[in-house]
Amino acid sequence: MSEHRSKLAILLWSATPERPQLCATPFVHAAAAAAFDCEVEIHFAGPTVRLLVAGVADSLRPWPGVDTSIYQMMRQATNLGVSLRACAMAMGALVGRDETLIPECAGTAAASAFVDRALDPEWATLVF
């Protein structure tokens, strides 16, 4: 029987609102890992933080003809315990002070937090 890591950190980098076809897979993988009782964090870097702004992900569909929004996929993951963390620097640069974040956002994390996960042998990492 092989041993599995029980923690997964996912970095969103290229899965931006402008590329919704890339946004579904990270949340599906996060939900799958959480369903296996894995602790999961998704770190939103650069322009991916825009997905955390209320209304943005709700208006996105990964492909034409798909009824499920990216926001619904995000909620499915968070309902299984996945934590959504925004890059503080990207938030300051790309999210307006008057914009509201989705309630599922668990707060901010510095780039060093994801690097720490990548260096920790208990954590596996994925980058999308």
Parse the chain into domains and list their residue ranges.
Answer: 7-127
Amino acid letter, 48: T
Q: Which of the 8 DSSP states describes residue 7?
A: E
Neighbours of 97 (CB within 10 A): 5
Q: Which residues of 103-116 are buried (b: 16+ CB within 10 A; e: fewer)?
A: ebbeebbeeebbee
pLDDT, tens digit, 9 for 90 and up, residues 42-95: 999 999 999 999 999 999 999 999 999 999 999 999 999 999 999 999 999 999
Query: What CATH architecture applies to the domain 7-127?
Result: 3-Layer(aba) Sandwich (3.40)
pTM (predicted TM-score): 0.94
Gap between the Cα atoms of 40 and 82, Å rounded: 5
